[in-house]
Chains A and B, each alone.
Chain A
Amino acid sequence: MTSTETRTAGRLGDSPLRPDGTLKVTGEFAYSSDLWHDDMVWGVTLRSPHPHARIRSIDVTEALRVPGVSAVLTAADVPGENAVGLEHLDTPALADGVVRYQGEPVALVAADHPETARRAAKRIVVDYEVLPAVTDPRRALDADAPLVHASREDNLVRAMKIRRGDPAPTAPVVVALDFEVGMQDQAFLGPESGLAVPDGEGGVDLFVATQWLHVDQGQVCRVLGLPPEQVRLTLAGVGGAFGGREDLSMHVHACLLALHTGKPVKMSYARDESFFGHVHRHPAWLRYEFGASEEGELIYAKADILFDGGAYASSTGAVVGNGGTLGLGPYRIPSVHVDARGVYTNNPPCGAMRGFGCVQAAFAHEALMDELADRVGVDRVEIRARNGMVEGDLNITGQVIDSAAPVAELIRTVRDLPLPPEPEGERDIRELPGGASNTTHGEGVVRGIGYAVTYKNVGFSEGFDDYSTARVRLEAVAGEPVATVHTAAAEVGQGLITIEQQICRTELGVDQVVVHPKDTSVGSGGSTSASRQTYVTGGAVKAACEAVRTSVLRRAAALLQRSDLRLDGDKIVAESGEVVAGLVEVLDEPVEETVEWRHRPTFPIDPETGQGNAHVQYAFSAHRAVVDVDTELGLVKVVALDTAQDVGRALNPDAVVGQIQGGSAQGMGLALMEEIVVQDGHVKNPSFTDYLIPTILDMPPMQVKVLEYADPHAPYGVRGVGEPPTISSGPAVAAAVRAATGKALRRVPIRPEHITF
């Protein structure tokens, strides 16, 4: 929980320290899995072992007999509507009659010790009738494919078409490829967890790690059959998110158990359960074709993109929207033909992860851009500069790019950054592929360099009412002006609370800014996703500060009987520059304002042509990767991963660089090591032993070049920062491995056997 007070100076453009930093290094910061309550019991979840099965019966008798067990619940115990979901209410809180993926929650147990609860859960007897499963998304739309949801006509979640320009274009140079992207996991370190506390009057308080308190609240209310006043959410400390906390996990379950037992209920997933407890990045199958002039100028592009949505829709529709509208990359393309689809299968549900639909597409369009460059004999950097969007261009949905689009500058900037020294002489084995495993001293090792560029929408798109709410209070405390900023926008580690303080200091001239705990007692802050919080909640905090300032000056005008006043730091100043009062002198009563703030509207795209102003803002980035590959063993060492990104305006430069570095690591992970392996609907590697994320040994040094072309339409000129680095880093790494090995490598993550065979 994040109630914090600080006197640290730090206006916009500074990099003040995080207000929660000290708590986090002393172990005192209360993450959702740290919560504790007198008399609390532990909740655990029994999950389906089958990808698709009918539940004939559930017998909880033996589980209830275990000493220490206080409740065993199934779908029959759900008091409200047993349906949640971000876009479609297609997900039961507890499986009712059928399970559609391995790991689907079937029953809950509460007991006085987590091990007691786990043992009791094993005594629940579920009689399953295994059903045929759809596990290959490429077959999901076949006429004879089993239906994942019997109530639907087919397994389609969403199909999007984009048609622009010449419907039958031709070009002198044509290149094409098929690409495949594996299923990535967000792998946030703080497990799904929280504490539900019954209020004794039929309601419940839930302390939980999430990305959007209010959308959680609505879903929990529906299942509990309670109004929002009786289901209050407070943000507990969040141990990373990256999209994996947009959907509910243990929220409803803990509340059900708490209301049933009348006791506080703690739930905390172990890592293996976490792999089943949240959605993943969609695996994708992509078929791309570029037609170009002899000089490499794009004439047309075609793309067919298939996303495996898994058993429940989650945000698959919006991922399809992004894959479709943004999936050809930041290029000027006269004629376009795109089909993007997301389908239901009996695989693990997929939804939001950093980069959201653009990550998969970028691997394909960047691999094909290299192919085109080589075919026409143009340098790989220059072909991107030549085709890259510039401000004023139309994107493939016909939307004018109405602020900076520095594609050429970004890609040339990364090209011009210093390269790591060429290897010579005896090398430290820790810097070689295989590292301390001592698999090579340099023999068989080849170096390669790869480039990639991308763009990403910022904020929610396609007509979504995307807003945030901020409440700012200004008062005198012990003779000093103190601002309190209250939003429900989730701090997940990215540093929004620091930005909120910086905005208040800048707008109100105060040093002390208290960040109120994030909860549902203030209006929605919208989701901490889509790189949107500094833009949208930042915009709301700015607007609330302006409203406070107006009220303060109105009060000062009445008090001082003059109208030429302005706020300058903590002084009230007349037009002449004369200080007429201190701020605290007019704060005998606190001033408080609450503002709901919206960015420019976006619009749905035309269902037939895919044309329309779907997005509010675009953010651009480029990467250059340098790799050493042991071609005999197929091991890769990333030697350098350098990047340039336009951030509009860096409100907190250190935090911006931190986002770019961390995002780059996740993209690199997908290129080389990260994949949830699913066979016949079963997850094979739900652990950090078998699902690998980059370690400090895997990550190379990074040079980060930040460009600041202010977006005139955005508060302070900011541009979303978090996602672009995750999109362009992976394709650059894959390109570098291709350059080193000469292999086509049309699938990520690239495995050793892809290189050696």
Chain B
Amino acid sequence: MRIELTVNGTRREADDVWEGESLLYALRERLGLPGSKNACEQGECGSCTVYLDGTPVCACLVAAGQAQGREVTTVEGLAGEELDPVQQAFVEKGAVQCGFCTPGFLMSTKDLLERNPEPTDPEIREALAGNLCRCTGYEKILDAVRAAAVAKR
């Protein structure tokens, strides 16, 4: 089948999409956007988090066909001329080691700060509980989220 959708503000289409393909596969393998990550492909790790019409979802759990006609934002769409404050904070605070979880954390963090510009630590932890990181022990991720909250004010 053919799918048409808007990704990071640009109208995109893909042909010969198999009905069983996920949005994650379509983004990574058909649209040249591998920034959303394939750590578990079963909705447990959050590394593929994207916004579907503004709502964070695991792209691995969304069928590519479900994105037909909708708007998708991926990690590749976060930065403009400069890095988004959330991206900048993750780099500066050492929240990135291997970085495989990072795109998902960035998307979840940006969503959190838009809903709640001054989150407490328990609120940060609750909001990011669906994103797994194996390298950092999360301390520097917390540092980054706190710093991003300050920077965005």
Report the Cα distance A699→B121, complex, angstroms. 12
Inter-chain residue pair count (beta carbon < 8 A): 184
Residue of chain B at shortest CB distance from A20: B99
Q: Evaluate contact between A688 and B34: CB separation under 8 angstroms.
A: no
Report the Cα distance A34→B28, complex, angstroms. 7
**Is residue B33 contacting chain A, with contact meaning CB distance below 8 A?**
yes
Q: Evaluate contact between B41 and A25: CB separation under 8 angstroms.
A: no
Given known pairs A27-B76, A189-B47, A662-B137, the reply for A430 and B40 (CB within 8 Å) is no
Which B residues from 127 to 149 make CB contacts under 8 A with A?
Answer: 128-142
Chain A residue numbers with a CB within 8 Å of B122 are 428, 430-431
Say how far B12's CB is from chain A's closest CB, in angstroms: 16
Q: Evaluate contact between A27 and B34: CB separation under 8 angstroms.
A: yes
Subset of 5 A-B contacts with CB under 8 Å:
A18-B94, A115-B18, A186-B134, A666-B134, A689-B42
Chain B residue numbers with a CB within 8 Å of A17 are 91-92
Which B residues from 26 to 74 make CB contacts under 8 A with A?
Answer: 28-29, 32-42, 44-45, 47, 74
Given known pairs A693-B134, A697-B126, A697-B129, the reply for A36 and B79 (CB within 8 Å) is no
Say how far A46's CB is from chain B's closest CB, in angstroms: 19
Chain B residue numbers with a CB within 8 Å of A30 are 34
Contact with B along A22-55 (1 / 0, CB 8 A): 1011111111011010000000000000000000
Report the Cα distance A430→B127, complex, angstroms. 12
**Is residue B101 contacting chain A, with contact meaning CB distance below 8 A?**
yes
Which chain A residues have a beta carbon within 8 Å of chain B's beta carbons?
A: 15, 17-18, 20-22, 24-31, 33-34, 36, 113, 115, 186-191, 237-242, 268, 270-271, 428, 430-431, 436, 492-495, 654-655, 657-658, 661-666, 687-689, 693-697, 699, 701-702
Q: Evaluate contact between B35 and A188: CB separation under 8 angstroms.
A: no
Q: Evaluate contact between B42 and A268: CB separation under 8 angstroms.
A: no
New A-B pairs, 12, CB < 8 Å, besides A20-B99, A33-B38, A34-B28? A26-B83, A27-B35, A27-B103, A31-B100, A191-B39, A239-B100, A430-B122, A658-B136, A658-B140, A662-B135, A688-B42, A688-B44
Q: Evaluate contact between B129 and A695: CB separation under 8 angstroms.
A: yes
Report the Cα distance A391→B128, complex, angstroms. 44
Chain A residue numbers with a CB within 8 Å of B42 are 271, 687-689
| Residue tally, chain B, CB below 8 Å to A | 59
Q: Evaluate contact between A687 and B40: CB separation under 8 angstroms.
A: yes
Q: Evaluate contact between B128 and A696: CB separation under 8 angstroms.
A: yes
Chain B residue numbers with a CB within 8 Å of A687 are 40, 42, 44
Q: Evaluate contact between A271 and B20: CB separation under 8 angstroms.
A: no
Residue of chain B at shortest CB distance from A703: B139
Chain B residue numbers with a CB within 8 Å of A268 are 38
Say how far B135's CB is from chain A's closest CB, in angstroms: 5
Say how far B143's CB is from chain A's closest CB, in angstroms: 10
Given known pairs A430-B126, A699-B138, the reply for A240 and B44 (CB within 8 Å) is no
Report the Cα distance A34→B134, complex, angstroms. 19
Q: Evaluate contact between A24 and B29: CB separation under 8 angstroms.
A: no
Report the Cα distance A495→B46, complex, angstroms. 23
Say how far B40's CB is from chain A's closest CB, in angstroms: 4
Chain A residue numbers with a CB within 8 Å of B137 are 661-665, 694, 699, 702
Given known pairs A115-B20, A689-B42, A689-B44, the reply for A25 and B106 (CB within 8 Å) is yes
Q: Evaluate contact between B38 and A24: CB separation under 8 angstroms.
A: no
**Is residue B78 contacting chain A, with contact meaning CB distance below 8 A?**
yes
Given known pairs A33-B38, A661-B140, A662-B135, the reply for A430 and B125 (CB within 8 Å) is yes
Contact of A189 among B36, B39, B74, B124 (CB under 8 A): B39
Q: Evaluate contact between B125 and A696: CB separation under 8 angstroms.
A: yes
Q: Evaluate contact between A189 and B18: CB separation under 8 angstroms.
A: no
Report the Cα distance A661→B139, complex, angstroms. 7
Residue of chain B at shortest CB distance from A22: B91
Say how far A668's CB is from chain B's closest CB, in angstroms: 9
Chain B residue numbers with a CB within 8 Å of A15 are 94
Nearest 5 A-B pairs (CB), nearest first?
A27-B35, A493-B98, A24-B99, A239-B100, A661-B137
Report the Cα distance A645→B21, complex, angstroms. 47
**Is residue B7 contacting chain A, with contact meaning CB distance below 8 A?**
no
**Is residue B113 contacting chain A, with contact meaning CB distance below 8 A?**
no
Residue of chain A at shortest CB distance from B91: A21
Chain B residue numbers with a CB within 8 Å of A693 are 132, 134
Chain B residue numbers with a CB within 8 Å of A699 are 137-139
Which B residues from 84 to 130 make CB contacts under 8 A with A?
Answer: 87-88, 90-92, 94, 96-103, 106, 122, 124-126, 128-130
Report the Cα distance A31→B96, complex, angstroms. 14
Say how far B112's CB is from chain A's closest CB, in angstroms: 12
Q: Evaluate contact between A188 and B83: CB separation under 8 angstroms.
A: no
**Is residue B5 contacting chain A, with contact meaning CB distance below 8 A?**
no
Q: Evaluate contact between B36 and A27: CB separation under 8 angstroms.
A: yes
Say how far A576's CB is from chain B's closest CB, in angstroms: 42
Contact of A493 among B36, B90, B99, B103 (CB under 8 A): B99
Chain B residue numbers with a CB within 8 Å of A29 are 99
Contact of A26 among B18, B44, B79 (CB under 8 A): B79
**Is residue B23 contacting chain A, with contact meaning CB distance below 8 A?**
no
Q: Evaluate contact between A436 and B134: CB separation under 8 angstroms.
A: no
Chain A residue numbers with a CB within 8 Å of B97 are 240, 493-495, 658, 662
Report the Cα distance A495→B136, complex, angstroms. 12
Chain A residue numbers with a CB within 8 Å of B142 are 696
Q: Evaluate contact between B138 and A665: CB separation under 8 angstroms.
A: yes
Contact of B75 among A27, A492, A495, A654 (CB under 8 A): A27
Say how far B18's CB is from chain A's closest CB, in angstroms: 6
Q: Evaluate contact between A271 and B39: CB separation under 8 angstroms.
A: yes
Report the Cα distance A694→B88, complex, angstroms. 25
Say how far A269's CB is from chain B's closest CB, in angstroms: 10
Q: Evaluate contact between A701 and B98: CB separation under 8 angstroms.
A: no
Say how far B31's CB is from chain A's closest CB, in angstroms: 11
Given known pairs A189-B134, A239-B100, A240-B100, the reply for A25 and B94 (CB within 8 Å) is no
Say how far A242's CB is from chain B's closest CB, in angstroms: 7
Q: Evaluate contact between A696 and B129: CB separation under 8 angstroms.
A: yes
Q: Evaluate contact between B91 and A18: CB separation under 8 angstroms.
A: yes
Q: Evaluate contact between A697 and B90: CB separation under 8 angstroms.
A: no
Contact of A25 among B38, B44, B45, B87 (CB under 8 A): B87
Chain B residue numbers with a CB within 8 Å of A113 are 18
Chain B residue numbers with a CB within 8 Å of A20 are 99
Residue of chain A at shortest CB distance from B88: A25
Say how far A420's CB is from chain B's closest CB, in angstroms: 13
Chain A residue numbers with a CB within 8 Å of B133 are 189, 696
Say how far A733's CB is from chain B's closest CB, in angstroms: 13
Residue of chain A at shortest CB distance from B41: A270
Report the Cα distance A658→B100, complex, angstroms. 16
